[in-house]
Structure 1
Amino acid sequence: MLRITSPANEKVKRVRALLEQRKARQAYRQMVLESPRLIDEALRFALRHPDYRLAFAFYAEPTPRAQETLARLQAAGVPCYEVTPAILRMCTDAETPQGLIAVAPIPELPWPAAPTFLLLLDRVQEPGNVGAVLRSAAAAGAEGVLIPPGTADPWHPKAVRAGAGAHFVLPVRRISWPELPQQVEGTALWLATPEGERTYWEVDWREPVTLVLGGEAAGPGPQVRSLPHRTVRIPMARGMESLNVAVAAALLLYEVARQRGWGRVAGSEGG
């Protein structure tokens, strides 16, 4: 039986680093999966991509749901280590841990050759909001998400949890500011702002577009605004200044999908 009892174990240190340090996630190209559902998504991704293999898993007093996933991990040949409950608590910050975590490679999904529906997150600093936006973007059929400097790490544990599997279906690309013009070339740049010139249902979203969402406090920054762009707004009742960025993203993304007939084509209406 594979068992770890010491917090000084190198694998325990690896998990802690991946949880706490962006530079560790970038260096190792790995992330921590903190629920059976996410681990199952990773295992399904591995079936479609033979070169993708989970690194290892920790378990301690797993729930019945986690035991099912643990059995699938073991059947797939993933090294699974029993750890003490105290060590497992050190290796997750999930509010309701289920007794099982795994370390997996960050998926490398191909970027679309000529994208027509991109999302750019500019200065969105809360990882949970980044993950929630990715979840909506994947559900609405976005083709890719651009992450420039100043935005929270999309592979932060909170972002991965909030993404609910989006990281395994939606290409996410970190970019530098000098790369931005090339990345959005061929698309109309629409910035979501409270003072936007058009309401979001007045925009023709059927053309190739890059939708830009900024932080709730300041909105998109000067690097994005320096490019040719137009602005779009979500009307709000008197006295309200802004929406949570994840809520705003869902409204805008699904208007794009509605205009393109994506829900009817995909057969996803009502789901």
Structure 2
Amino acid sequence: MKDLADDRDRGRTDDRDRTDDRDRAKDPVDTWRRLAGDSVLLDGFHALKHAVRFRAEVLVAVTGDRRAALALADELAPDVRDTLDGLLVEVPEAAYRSLVPRPHPTAVAALAVRPSREASLRALTATHRTAPVVVLDQPRNLGNAGAVIRLAAGFGATGVVTTGTLDPWHPTVVRGGAGLHFATAVERLTVAELPSGPVFALDPEGEDIRGTKLPDDAVLAFGSERSGLSPELRARADHLVSLPMRPQVSSYNLATSVAMTLFHWSAAGGAPIG
């Protein structure tokens, strides 16, 4: 992921004035309200922790209990504790609750700069990819999309692409992904814009995936929770594969299907994570 991180670093200069605003602002609540419209909401301690680990540019970070947040950092994320110490500003609980649509149990929230579309597309369309791209074809459930992004980041996938109307950077998706959008490339594209590479689409009528080796540059496509693959995606597929499933069981959860498929790729000799 180094190239993607470097691209993000180079793309941050346009937002330096906003960072300067944060540094100069005396009131973090006022700063938040001015920046919230075009920033990524990091909802909760773990989202902020992961964003910092994967070099997101955090514009402002608030907490209703700074001591408790830093105690969590000491316990769960000592590698970024000093960075969080410099970022987190304590605000009254009522102020914190006014800034977020759904207060997190950790009472931590932050705003970050979204990676540039250009940087994400460079990663997704790289000529020699060493890990698959996951495609969610017209997904509907925001939480499921977030869980898939978290899985993809954990397996070291190149990225996650959604087609259709769901915004993969919606705050609920970012919350479900625990801030790991910054650990992989995340974009919304049309089927015609999908990255090159052999497309393996999951379908109940496909061949058993256990007899298939998934190449590192595979595009792994998963249909929507309700209607499956769209006709456009099915026409684009090079291979239809299915997951083992007991008869009379209707389907797996979307995130479960992605996890099983990525594990199959990894266990069969996928590129090492790191």
Q: How does 1:76-115 map to 2 (within 5 A)?
A: 78=87, 82-94=90-102, 96-108=104-116, 109=120, 110-112=122-124, 113-114=126-127, 115=129
Shift of 1:31: 0.7
* Alignment partners' CA distance in 2, 1:118 and 1:192: 14
1:126 maps to which residue?
A: 141
Residue equivalent to 2:60: 56
What corresponds to 1:144 in structure 2? 159
Q: What amino acid does structure 2 have at the position aligned with 1:172?
A: V
Counterpart contact for 1:193–1:233, Cα < 8 Å? yes
Give the alignment partner of residue 193 of structure 1, picking from 195, 199, 203. 203
Q: Deviations over 1:207-227 (max 9, x none)?
A: 631110111211111221222
User: Aligned residue for 2:78?
Assistant: none
Asked if the contact 2:199–2:220 (Cα under 8 Å) also holds between the matched residues in 1, the reply is yes
Partner Cα separation in structure 2 for residue 85 and residue 257 of structure 1: 44
- Tell me: CA distance 1:229–1:266, structure 2 relative to 1, closer, same or farther (3 Å): closer
CA distance in 2, matches of 1:206, 1:71: 40
Equivalent residue in structure 2 for 1:11, among 26, 32, 44: 32
Which SS does the other structure have where 2:41 is aligned?
A: strand
How many residues are paired up?
236
- 2:167 partner SS: coil
- The alpha carbon displacement at 1:252 in A equals 0.6
CA separation in 2, counterparts of 1:36 and 1:228?
39
Q: CA deviation at 1:43?
A: 2.5
Aligned residue for 2:236, secondary structure, equals coil
Q: Which runs of 5+ in 1 are unaligned?
A: 16-23, 47-51
Identity of aligned residues (%): 28
Counterpart Cα distance in 1 of 2:40 and 2:172 = 11
Q: State the superposition RMSD in angstroms.
A: 2.9
Q: Which moved more, 1:65-74 or 1:135-144?
A: 65-74
137-146 or 94-103: which moved more? 94-103
Give the letter for the 1:103 counterpart.
L
Within-5 A mapping of 1:1-271: 2-3=26-27, 9=30, 11-12=32-33, 15=36, 24=37, 28=38, 30-46=39-55, 53-62=57-66, 64-66=68-70, 72-73=83-84, 75=86, 78=87, 82-94=90-102, 96-108=104-116, 109=120, 110-112=122-124, 113-114=126-127, 115=129, 117-150=132-165, 152-180=166-194, 183=195, 185=196, 187-196=197-206, 198-206=207-215, 208-262=217-271, 265-266=272-273
Q: Residue by residue, what CA displacement relative to the aligned partner does 1:93-142 show, whole Å, maximum 9, x if unpaired?
A: 44643222110011345515123521111111111111111111122231
Preserved contact between residue 69 and residue 108 of structure 2 (Cα < 8 Å) = no
User: Could you say if the C-alpha distance between residues 111 and 148 of structure 1 is closer, same or farther in structure 2, counting changes exceeding 3 Å?
Assistant: same
Q: Distance in 1 between matches of 2:222 and 2:237?
A: 16
- TM-score relative to the length of structure 1: 0.75
TM superposition shift of 1:228: 4.4
Look up the SS of the partner of 1:107 in the other structure: coil
Unaligned runs of at least 5 residues, structure 2: 1-24, 74-80
> CA–CA distance in 2 between the matches of 1:86 and 1:95?
10
